[in-house]
Every structure is written in structure tokens, then in C-alpha cells.
């Protein structure tokens, strides 16, 4: 096997290992066994995607060319990590409380959930990152070239397109598989993060191994190496102070703003406390990564022939020393650095593209109606997967068409300078309540244009995009507009020149426009939440709508988060508010929380737009509030407190009114029922009495008459007994005197029994079931459970008014509980009626007589006794009842 094929085999095996790691981590997380996945160490290791293929190979090249300057690239992030409590902690806290999905989402959310801003940041991020992805592909192909025996300096990129394409395709596959498994960005990508952590260890060990070999194997030990360094030009090069400070600041800014760094730092962060560990562990990691950079550079310059590419010393030195195996280890290290960067960057960018570009367009195209059929979740996932492919392939295309070499090598820092433009709006948004959306847009716009003009476009080389004449004399001969000498600042380093002007004017525009413009209410609100994230803010809770609105919200949420999660969220909130069932009050507090939950899936701007469609008035009332109490924060908070109190009062009054209504309704129904009971008792009693008198007195009755009368008497007494049985049953259950008889049984059998008892499934009433899901062994009072099932099925039979009535029985075995849903296709039960169907004696629609309205009350009592529950499930096709049984069923204590 030649080296080339061997390398490909190694890459494939390595990729398989990563797949296995990611798969195992995902599985562990889903089974709830993943506590170790969220350790601070894993978090720290995931931050290492900062060290990409460019840093793995390039740091040595950087050192060989410019001496100690490469240290700035590591110094910047170290400063950020050490000073974490200042900015990072705030970012992470906001990221969690607002369920931020990306840096675009962060900025958009801070500035009033503005989608324009999000689109702008997304496009900017894609432009800045594409060349960087190309750079990673290039570093992988260059390392291939070293092994193929080609001289990498003189080789043509063309014949190495193939490996790059395969690597790109593999990365797309991996990212799609593990990066878009679930939609909610806040559920986090355990698999990916774990794989990244493994790659972090691999690349560190690889670099250390090469370093140890170079120092002790080639450089003659510590002393020899120090002598070589002293003798080399590295020791002589002096570093200009301005460039040092500039580069360090640039690296620090990029560390916070790079979309991929934001992804691991903020979005994937599980616990604020992890920052404490990362504050020392990440600088240590980075220090170890840079430990051998200078020795490798110095010894490489000494031992390898003049003109060898210093970017590849990490590979060529082991090869030179005859250590092929070590060279392969080093190759894997570089491969790890490159792939982990591309994976995380693709996840981060695809989230931005799908949430801020594809989803809004899709929402607009579908008429903005959310109640229509169609799965929002599916669309969002598809958009995300498609974007991942598009982004990586864009990187590949860039790599394909840029001929590699010089233009690409500078791209790392160019990219840093691009994303650094987010910094003023980001920091301003965190600490200054007066920052406005227009200010942010202006700052970003100015920064972006200057970056393009002074750095990005010229980086392709004079004459490629920017004409030589413009570079030399400025556009139209205006010399103070020369891209490398703006406003007469001659003789500066082009990078520092561009960073200085772009950041300076960006900040100036941001401040100036923010001061002269007036923030919209939503911006103000978000601004206050961001700036004061650490203060416990108790803001006003307006009651905005009724339970019917909650049902609409539930339907929409089910379509975004999926039914399980949506129902859990709603019933949890309802319980918190002291209500039963699935529909909480749509208080402002809840609506804000809901918006944040949804923004984890579709981004803040989209979530806000969707929720406002249903509760459009919520923002208006805040607007009113703010218009009045706008002057100072104190006034606003004071007024919020008042507002909270009055909303609280209004809510209490409403709850009292509802309770009162319910009581009146119940008492009326009870009266009606007593009348009904007397009536029902009286009618059979009358006929029993009449016919028994006839039987007693009528000596000449024929045999058939006798039989007929006695069977009437028998039938009527049966009816009486049933009614009395029900009443008795209920009173026994209610008083807690009912004894339960626990047995083992299979759920499917219990359902079979209930279906058979109610007349079976047939064309006149179809019952759909999933026998596979019903194979669950229960340990409970089987007869009582069957009684509940029989009641629910016979109710569906009696009351389902569809032309082709059908009942769907859906069984789900979940971590917390076993759920059996009975969903029919009738017109269901209206929201006000849902609140009372489980009460005793309640029948809806007096005309549809049947039972006495005791069935569901009995069901609820039984389920309570069995330790489970039965409740109405709103937001389905027709009437729907959910029976919940806890796992490890035990009979509730007597
Ligand atoms: P009953 O003994 O009258 O059936 P239940 O307590 O079982 O009393 O049910 C109470 C009321 O709830 C019924 O009168 C009926 O109006 C309504 N109901 C129950 N199940 C359904 C259903 N599947 N579809 C429509 N209405 C229903």
C-alpha cells in the first residue's frame, strides 16, 4: 500500500472512531447516563476548536517568519478566559436565560428581536468564515501532499482536489448526523462536543509528541535546542509594540465573536460554573499547544533545506528524522484540528442561516399562518441540514477557485478582523441600555464596509479585485482613500491599519447613531433584560387572553417542539399557576418564557413573530407601559411593580369569579341531578310497582303475559341497580375505603378486554391500536384499570358525532410514565366544558342522554387511587383523554 492510500485509510478509521464516540455520547445523554458529558473538562476541551488546522501547522510558520508574534494569537483568548467574570459570565447567563442559538441570535435578540440585524450578521459571518473553512481544507490537502512526496511549495492544488472533496463530504455527513439530531439548540450537541473533546486531546498529544522528538531527538536536548534558538534569527527579531497589542486585542475579540467560538462558549455551555475551570484549564491547554512552537521553528530552520515551507515543519521534521509513524501522528493532529473547526463552524452557521434566512422566508411564503397543517420542525431541520451542506461546499468551492497559497495564508487574521466587527454592538448591548438597533446596524455596516475595502478585498493581492491604481493612488486619485493608508495614515501594517480604522469608526457610528435614535419598546425591554441579567427582575405580568388563546399557543408549540415537550411545558406551567390540565393562563410571564423556549428552536426573531401572531396585543401593552414610564429605570421598575400588583389582583379576581361560576354551575347541576335521580328512580319504581301488582292480583294471566311483565320488572330493577351501583362505587372510592387488588397483567390484554366489553371494533365504530406498543406488563388493579378503559371507549362510542366514528388508542412508554391516549374524531369538548367534564353529575348537552354523568368522575377517582391520572387532552382532532400511569406501578397506600 502506498503512503497516500495508507493516509486515506487512517483518515477513514479515525473518522469511524469519531462517529463511534459521538454516537456513544449521544446515546448516553439520551438515556440520562451522561453526567460525565457535562463536566467542565469536556467544556474546556471543546473550546480548543479555537486552535484550528491553521494554528496547528501555522503557528510554527508564524514563529519562523515573525518570531514571538504568534504568542498574541494565544494571549488574546487567555485574557478573555482569565477575565471571564467580566463579559463571558454575562454572555453565558444571557445565552441560557434567553435561549440564544447563535451570535446572530444574540445580537438580534438584544436589539428588539430584529431580523434585519440577524440577517446582516449571518451574511457577514458566512462571508468571513467561508475562506476559513477553505483554509482548513487546504491544510489537510497540504499535509497529504507532504506524504505524497510532492514538494508542497511547488505543487498545484488541482491534483489534490479529490481528497479535499472527500474530506468536505465526510464532514457534511458527520455534522448533519450529529449536529441536527434535535432541533432545540439548547438541548446541545453532546455527540459533537464529545468528538471535539477527543480531537482536542489528539491534537495536543500529537503536537507534544512532535515537540519532544524535535527537542530531544533532533535538537540535542534542552541545552542544544536553547543554543539553536539563540543562534537563530528568531531570537533577534524584535516585535513592534503596536502590532503586539493590536494582534492580542484582535485575537481576544475574535475569540468572543467567531460564530464557532460563540457556539461552544455560550450555546453549548451547560453550566456557568464551568467557566471557573476553563479560566485556568484553557490557558494551560493553549500554553501546552505553544510550548514547542519556537523550538520546532528554530530547529526546522536550521536542519531543513532553505526554502522549505515552515508551515509544514510539524510534518517535515519527523519525516526528515526518519520517524514516519510520528509524522502520521502529527498528520492526524492536523486533521483533527481542521475537522473540528469545520464541524462546529458549520453547525453554528447553519443554525444562523436556517433560523434567520430560511425560516422567515418560509413563514412568509406559507402566508404566515401557523395554524395550517405542516410540521415547522421538519422544515427547520431540513433547512439546517441543507445549510450545513451548502456552507461546507461553499468553503470547498472557495478552496477550489482560489489557487491556494499566499491569498489563503493571510485569511486567518483577515477572518478574525471581520468577526471582530461584532464586538462593539455585542459589548455595547451587554452594558449599555441606550444602545439601539439602528446604532448596531450602523456600526456593523461601517465596520463591514471598511473591513471589505481595507483588508478583505486587497488580501487577494493588488490587481486581483482591487485595481493596482486604487491601491497606489486611491479611487479617482483621492489619496486619503487608499485602502492601506486611509486618511493619510501611511506606513502602517495593513492588518493593524484596517483593524484600527474599522473598529474605531464602527464604534463611533454605533455610539453616535444609538444616541440620536430612539429605541423601540421591545428593544428597550430586551436591553433592560440583557444589561440587568444578574438582578432578579420581577416584571409586570399582564393577563392577556383566555384559555382559548392558550389552546392556540399549545397547538403552535406542539408543531415546533413536538407534542411531548409542548404538553410537558404547558402542563408544568399550569401546575405552577395552580391549575390542573394542560392549559395555563397566558400571562405575560408565561408568554415570555414560551417565546424563549421556542427561540431555542427557531431563533428569537422568528419565535417572537410566531407568538405575536397569536397574542398580538402583548407587546402593545408593554408599549403603553413603557411610554408612560420611560424616563428612568427607577420609574420603570416602580411602575412595573405596581403593574404586577394590579395584574395579580385582576388575576385573583378572575380566578374567584371562575371558581364562583363553577360552584354555581355545579350546584345547578346537582339540583338538576337530584331531580333526575328522583325521576329516574321514580319511573322504574312506578312500573315495577304497577306490574308487580298486576302479577299479584291477576289470577287469569296467561303464561306469556306473566313472563313479559316479570322481565319488565327485571329490566327496570337492573337499571336501578346500575345507578345505585355507580353512586355506591363513587362514594366508596371517594371515601378511600375501596380495596384494590393488585395483579400482573399485560396492557394489551386489558385493552382487548375493554374493547370487547364495549362491542368491539367494526365498520360502524373503528378502533385503531398499535399492538406492538401495548406489550407492557403492569402491576396494578387490572379490573379497575379495565373499568376506566371501558368507560372511555364507551363514551367515545356514545358521543363521537363523526360520520365515520373512529377511536385511536395511542400508547407511549416514557421515562417518567406510561401514557394511554384515547383520541376520537368527533367534534370534541369545548374549552369551558373541558374544565367540568370530570365533575360528578356533569353531562354535556342534556339531550344526549345515556349515563348519569358519573362515568368520568369514577374514572378519575380510580386513577387517583392507582397512583396515576386521567385528564382531558386539548388540541387534538376530537375529544381526547389521556390516562397516565407511573412506572413501577404500586398501589397507592391504603
Ligand atoms: P355519562 O355517564 O353521561 O357518559 P361521563 O362522566 O362518562 O358521563 O361523561 C360526561 C360527559 O362528557 C358526557 O355526558 C358527554 O357529554 C361528555 N363526553 C364524554 N366523552 C366524550 C366524547 N368522547 N366525546 C364527546 N363528549 C364526551
Atom nearest to 800 CA in ligand 1: 24
How many angstroms separate the CA atoms of 605 and 287, rounded? 40
Protein residue whose Cα sits closest to atom 20 of ligand 1: 795
Instruction: Evaluate: CB of 855 within 6 angstroms of ligand 1.
Output: yes
Q: Is the CB of 843 under 6 A from ligand 1?
A: yes
Residue identifier of the C-alpha nearest atom 27 of ligand 1: 799
Q: Given this model, what pLDDT does residue 152 score? A: 47
Task: List Cβ<8 Å contacts ≥24 apart for 686-695.
Answer: 687/712, 687/713, 687/716, 688/713, 688/716, 688/717
Span from the CA of 828 to the centroid of ligand 1 (angstroms): 10
Max avg pLDDT among 70-74, 356-360, 751-755, 847-851 = 751-755
The more confident residue out of 4 and 844 is 844
CA–centroid distance, residue 865 to ligand 1 (Å):
21
Q: What is the 3-state secondary structure (H, E, C) of 576-619?
A: HCCCCCCCCCCEHHHHHHHHHHHHHHHCHHHHHHHHHHHCCHHH
pLDDT grade, residue 567 (50/70/90)?
A: confident
- The pLDDT value given to residue 274: 85
- Contact 837 CB / ligand 1 (< 6 Å): yes
Find all residues with CB under 8 Å of 69, minimum gap 6, and list them: 62, 63, 239, 243, 244, 247
Displacement of CA 663 from its chain's centroid (Å): 43
- Which is it for strands 481-482 and 880-886: parallel, antiparallel or unpaired? unpaired
β partners of residue 543 = 587
Nearest CA to ligand 1 atom 16: 844
Q: Among 837, 841, 848, 850, which residue has the most ligand 1 atoms within 8 Å of its CB, making it the best to mutate? A: 837
Q: How far is the CA of 674 from the centre of ligand 1 (A)?
A: 19
pLDDT recorded at residue 2? 65
Ligand 1 pocket: which of 767, 843, 846, 852 to mutate (most atoms within 8 A of CB): 843
Instruction: Specify the pLDDT at position 628.
Output: 38
Pick the range with the lowest mean pLDDT from 246-250, 447-451, 530-534. 530-534
Q: Report how far ligand 1's centroid is from the alpha carbon of 369 (Å).
A: 33
pLDDT in tens, 260-288: 888 888 888 878 888 888 888 898 998 89
Name the grid cell of 807: 377511536
Q: How far apart are CA 389 and CA 171, in angstroms?
A: 9
The residue among 521 and 286 whose pLDDT is bigger is 286
- For residue 682, the model assigns a pLDDT of 78
- pLDDT digit string, tens, across residues 604-651: 667 776 777 676 543 433 443 443 344 445 556 667 788 888 888 898
Please identify which residue in the block is written with the cell numbers 466587527. 421
Q: Calculate how far, in angstroms, residue 844's C-alpha sits from the geometric centre of ligand 1.
A: 7
Regarding the beta carbon of 833 and ligand 1, being less than 6 Å apart is answered: no
What's the confidence (pLDDT) of residue 27?
81
Number of C-beta neighbours around residue 296 at 10 A: 27
pLDDT, tens digit, for every residue of 130-174?
Answer: 888 888 888 888 887 777 765 444 444 445 666 777 778 877 887
Q: Is 805 in the pocket of ligand 1 (CB under 6 A)?
A: no
Q: Lowest mean pLDDT: which of 66-70, 481-485, 739-743, 786-790?
A: 481-485
Q: Which atom of ligand 1 is nearest to the CA of 796?
A: 23
Among candidates 513, 180, 479, which has minimal Cα distance to 348? 180
- Pairing type for strands 743-746 and 481-482 reads unpaired
Least confident segment among 403-407, 485-489, 609-613, 808-812: 403-407
- Nearby residues of 445 by Cβ (< 8 Å), 6 or more positions away: 120, 509
User: What is the pLDDT at residue 167?
Assistant: 75
Give the highest mean pLDDT range of 189-193, 444-448, 593-597, 662-666.
444-448
Kind plus residue range of the DSSP H or E element containing 126? helix 115-147
- Which of 57-71, 452-466, 501-515 is predicted most confidently? 501-515
pTM: 0.64
Q: What percent of the chain has pLDDT over 70?
A: 84
Task: Please tell me the distance between residue 786's alpha carbon and the centre of ligand 1 in angstroms.
Answer: 17
Residue 795 CB–ligand 1 contact under 6 Å: yes
Give me the percent of the chain exceeding a pLDDT of 90.
12
183 in ligand 1 pocket by Cβ < 6 Å? no
Weakest-pLDDT range from 255-259, 266-270, 375-379, 539-543: 539-543
Q: Between vectors from CA 233 to CA 248 and to CA 306, what angle results, nearest 5°? A: 110
Distance 372 CA to ligand 1 centre (A): 29
Per residue in 673-705, pLDDT (tens digit) is 677 667 767 777 888 898 898 888 887 888 888
Instruction: Give the pLDDT score at 370.
Output: 53
Q: Atom of ligand 1 at shortest distance to CA of 792?
A: 20
Of all protein residues, the one whose alpha carbon is nearest to atom 17 of ligand 1 is 844
CB 626 within 8 A of CB 521: yes
Confidence category of residue 512, pLDDT binned at 50, 70, 90? very high
Q: What is the mean pLDDT of residues 416-443?
A: 89
User: Nearest residue CA, atom 19 of ligand 1?
Assistant: 795
Interval between CA 799 and ligand 1 midpoint (Å) = 7
Mean pLDDT of the chain: 80
Q: How confident is the model at residue 381 (pLDDT cuts 50, 70, 90)?
A: confident
Fold of 634-735: Helix Hairpins (1.10.287)
pLDDT at 462 over 80: no
Phi, psi of 155 (to 5 degrees): -75, 160
Evaluate if residue 37 carries a pLDDT over 80: no
* Distance from Cα 818 to the centre of ligand 1, integer Å: 24
CA–centroid distance, 840 to ligand 1, in Å, is: 11
Tell me if 800 CB under 6 Å of ligand 1: yes
pLDDT at 414 over 70: yes
- Is the pLDDT at 317 greater than 60, yes or no? yes
What residue's CA is closest to ligand 1, atom 25?
A: 799
Q: Please state the rounded mean pLDDT for residues 593-604.
A: 76
| Strand 869-872 relative to strand 880-886, pairing | antiparallel
Q: Is the pLDDT of residue 843 over 70?
A: yes
| 859 Cα: distance to centroid of ligand 1 (angstroms) | 12
The reply to whether ligand 1 has any atom less than 6 angstroms from the CB of 861 is no
Q: What letter would DSSP give residue 803?
A: S
User: Ligand 1 pocket check: which of 723, 856, 874, 882 to mutate, most ligand atoms within 8 Å of Cβ?
Assistant: 856
Residue 758 predicted with pLDDT over 80 = yes
| Count of beta carbons in the 10 Å neighbourhood of residue 89 | 16
Cβ–ligand 1 distance for 852 under 6 Å, the answer yes
pLDDT digits (tens, 9 = 90+) for 318-335: 888 888 888 888 888 888
- Average pLDDT value for residue range 10-29: 83
Q: How confident is the model at residue 236 (pLDDT cuts 50, 70, 90)?
A: low
pLDDT at 306 over 50: yes
pLDDT value at residue 535: 62
Query: Which pLDDT does position 618 carry in this prediction?
Result: 39
Closest Cα to residue 496, out of 468, 455, 466? 455
Minimum mean pLDDT range among 1-5, 217-221, 260-264? 1-5
Note the pLDDT of residue 766: 92
Q: How is domain 743-891 classified at the CATH fold level?
A: Heat Shock Protein 90 (3.30.565)
CA of 850, closest atom in ligand 1: 3
Say if ligand 1 is within 6 A of residue 859 CB: no
Is the C-beta atom of 870 inside 6 A of ligand 1? no
What is the spatial distance between Cα 729 and Cα 718, in angstroms, rounded to a whole number?
A: 16
**Distance, CA 821 to ligand 1 centroid (Å)?**
16
Q: Among 210-224, 295-309, 673-687, which stretch is predicted with the lowest mean pLDDT?
A: 673-687
The distance from CA 254 to its chain's CA centroid, rounded to whole angstroms, is 24
| One-character DSSP codes across 402-455 | S-STHHHHTHHHHHHHHHGGGHHHHHHHHH-TT--HHHHHHHHHHHHHHHIIII
Give the Cα separation of 738 and 732 in Å (integer): 6
Quote the pLDDT of residue 159. Answer: 57
Q: Which residue from 673, 676, 787, 799 has its CB within 8 A of the most atoms of ligand 1, so it is best to mutate?
A: 799
Q: Which three cell numbers stand for residue 71?
A: 504568542
Contact (Cβ atoms closer than 8 angstroms) between residue 638 and residue 611 = no
Q: Is the pLDDT of residue 793 over 90?
A: yes
The average pLDDT across 423-431 equals 89
Instruction: Give yes or no for residue 342 CB within 6 A of ligand 1.
Output: no
Other residues' Cβ atoms within 10 Å of the Cβ of residue 335: 27
Give, rounded to a whole angstrom, the gap between the first and last alpha carbons of the chain: 75
**Grid coordinates in use for 406?**
499566499
Quick check: CB of 154 below 6 Å from ligand 1? Answer: no
Amino acid at each position: 500500500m502506498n503512503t497516500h492510500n495508507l493516509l486515506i485509510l487512517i483518515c477513514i478509521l479515525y473518522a469511524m472512531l469519531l462517529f463511534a464516540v459521538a454516537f456513544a455520547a449521544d446515546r448516553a445523554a439520551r438515556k440520562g447516563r451522561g453526567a460525565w458529558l457535562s463536566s467542565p473538562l469536556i467544556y474546556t476541551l471543546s473550546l480548543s476548536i479555537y486552535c484550528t488546522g491553521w494554528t496547528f501547522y501555522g503557528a510554527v510558520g508564524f514563529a519562523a517568519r515573525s518570531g514571538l508574534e504568534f504568542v498574541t494569537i494565544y494571549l488574546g483568548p487567555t485574557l478573555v478566559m482569565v477575565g471571564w467574570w467580566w463579559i463571558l459570565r454575562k454572555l453565558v447567563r444571557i445565552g441560557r436565560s434567553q435561549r440564544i442559538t447563535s451570535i446572530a441570535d444574540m445580537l438580534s435578540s438584544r436589539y428588539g428581536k430584529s431580523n434585519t440585524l440577524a440577517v446582516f450578521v449571518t451574511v457577514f459571518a458566512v462571508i468571513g468564515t467561508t475562506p476559513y473553512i477553505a483554509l482548513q481544507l487546504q491544510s489537510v490537502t497540504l499535509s497529504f501532499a507532504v506524504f505524497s512526496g510532492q514538494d508542497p511549495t511547488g505543487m498545484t492544488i488541482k491534483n489534490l482536489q479529490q481528497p479535499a472533496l472527500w474530506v468536505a463530504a465526510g464532514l457534511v455527513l458527520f455534522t448533519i448526523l450529529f449536529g441536527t439530531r434535535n432541533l432545540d439548540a439548547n438541548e446541545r450537541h453532546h455527540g459533537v462536543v464529545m468528538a471535539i473533546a477527543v480531537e482536542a486531546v489528539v491534537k495536543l498529544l500529537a503536537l507534544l509528541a512532535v515537540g519532544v522528538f524535535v527537542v530531544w531527538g533532533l535538537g540535542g536536548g534542552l541545552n542544544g535546542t536553547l543554543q539553536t534558538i539563540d543562534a537563530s534569527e528568531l531570537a533577534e527579531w524584535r516585535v513592534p509594540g503596536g502590532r503586539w497589542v493590536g494582534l492580542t486585542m484582535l485575537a481576544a475579540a475574535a475569540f468572543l465573536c467567531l460564530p464557532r467560538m460563540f457556539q461552544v462558549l455560550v450555546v453549548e455551555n451547560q453550566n456557568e460554573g464551568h467557566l471557573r475551570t476553563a479560566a485556568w484549564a484553557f490557558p494551560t491547554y493553549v500554553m501546552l499547544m505553544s510550548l514547542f512552537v519556537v523550538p520546532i521553528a528554530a530547529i526546522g530552520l536550521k536542519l531543513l533545506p532553505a526554502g522549505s515551507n515552515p508551515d509544514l515543519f510539524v510534518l517535515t521534521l519527523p519525516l526528515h528524522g526518519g520517524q514516519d509513524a510520528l509524522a502520521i501522528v502529527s498528520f492526524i493532529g492536523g486533521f483533527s484540528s481542521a475537522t473540528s473547526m469545520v464541524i462546529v463552524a458549520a453547525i453554528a452557521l447553519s443554525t444562523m442561516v436556517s433560523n434567520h434566512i430560511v425560516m422567515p422566508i418560509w413563514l412568509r411564503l406559507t402566508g404566515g399562518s401557523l395554524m395550517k397543517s405542516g410540521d415547522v420542525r421538519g422544515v427547520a431541520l431540513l433547512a439546517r441540514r441543507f445549510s450545513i451542506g451548502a456552507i461546507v461546499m461553499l468553503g470547498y468551492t472557495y478552496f477550489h477557485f482560489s489557487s491556494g497559497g499566499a491569498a489563503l495564508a493571510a485569511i486567518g487574521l483577515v477572518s478574525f478582523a471581520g468577526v471582530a466587527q461584532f464586538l462593539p454592538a455585542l459589548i455595547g448591548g451587554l452594558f449599555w441600555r441606550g444602545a439601539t438597533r439602528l446604532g448596531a446596524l450602523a456600526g456593523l455596516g461601517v465596520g463591514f464596509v471598511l473591513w471589505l475595502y481595507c483588508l478583505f478585498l486587497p488580501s487577494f493581492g493588488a490587481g486581483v479585485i482591487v485595481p493596482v491604481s486604487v491601491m497606489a493612488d486611491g479611487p479617482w486619485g483621492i489619496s486619503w482613500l487608499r485602502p492601506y493608508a486611509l486618511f493619510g495614515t501611511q506606513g502602517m501594517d495593513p492588518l493593524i491599519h484596517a483593524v484600527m480604522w474599522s473598529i474605531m469608526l464602527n464604534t463611533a457610528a454605533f455610539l453616535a447613531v444609538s444616541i440620536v435614535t430612539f429605541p423601540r419598546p421591545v428593544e428597550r425591554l430586551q436591553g433592560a433584560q440583557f444589561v440587568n441579567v444578574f438582578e432578579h427582575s420581577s416584571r409586570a405580568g399582564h393577563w392577556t387572553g383566555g384559555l382559548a388563546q392558550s389552546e392556540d399557543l399549545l397547538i403552535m408549540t406542539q408543531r415546533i417542539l413536538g407534542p411531548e415537550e409542548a404538553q410537558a411545558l404547558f402542563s408544568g406551567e399550569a401546575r405552577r399557576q395552580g391549575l390542573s390540565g394542560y392549559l395555563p393562563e397566558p400571562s405575560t410571564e408565561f408568554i415570555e418564557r414560551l417565546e424563549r423556549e421556542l427561540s431555542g428552536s427557531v431563533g428569537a426573531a422568528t419565535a417572537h413573530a410566531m407568538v405575536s401572531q397569536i397574542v398580538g396585543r402583548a407587546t402593545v401593552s408593554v408599549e403603553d407601559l413603557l411610554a408612560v414610564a420611560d424616563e428612568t429605570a427607577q420609574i420603570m421598575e416602580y411602575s412595573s411593580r405596581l403593574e404586577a400588583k394590579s395584574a395579580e389582583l385582576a388575576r385573583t379576581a378572575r380566578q374567584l369569579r371562575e371558581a364562583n361560576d363553577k360552584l354555581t354551575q355545579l350546584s345547578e347541576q346537582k339540583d338538576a341531578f337530584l331531580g333526575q335521580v328522583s325521576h329516574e328512580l321514580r319511573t322504574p319504581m312506578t312500573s315495577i310497582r304497577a306490574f308487580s301488582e298486576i302479577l299479584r292480583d291477576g289470577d287469569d294471566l296467561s303464561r306469556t303475559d306473566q313472563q313479559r311483565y316479570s322481565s319488565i320488572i327485571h329490566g327496570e330493577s337492573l337499571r336501578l341497580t346500575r345507578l345505585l351501583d355507580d353512586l355506591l362505587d363513587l362514594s366508596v372510592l371517594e371515601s378511600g375505603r375501596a380495596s384494590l387488588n393488585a395483579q400482573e397483567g399485560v396492557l394489551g390484554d386489558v385493552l382487548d378486554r375493554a374493547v370487547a366489553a364495549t362491542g368491539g371494533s367494526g365498520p360502524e365504530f373503528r378502533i385503531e391500536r398499535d399492538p406492538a406498543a401495548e406489550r407492557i406488563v403492569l402491576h396494578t388493579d387490572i379490573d379497575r384499570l379495565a373499568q376506566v378503559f371501558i368507560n372511555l371507549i364507551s363514551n367515545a362510542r356514545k358521543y363521537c358525532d363523526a360520520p365515520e366514528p373512529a377511536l385511536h388508542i395511542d400508547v407511549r412508554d416514557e421515562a417518567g410514565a406510561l401514557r394511554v391516549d384515547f383520541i376520537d374524531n368527533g367534534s370534541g369538548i369545548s374549552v369551558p366544558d373541558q374544565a367540568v367534564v370530570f365533575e360528578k353529575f356533569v353531562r354535556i348537552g342534556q339531550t344526549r342522554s345515556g349515563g348519569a354523568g358519573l362515568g368520568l368522575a369514577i374514572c378519575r377517582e380510580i386513577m387517583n387511587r392507582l397512583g396515576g391520572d386521567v385528564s382531558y387532552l386539548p388540541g387534538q382532532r376530537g375529544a381526547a383523554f389521556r390516562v397516565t400511569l407511573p412506572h413501577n406501578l404500586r398501589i397507592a397506600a391504603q
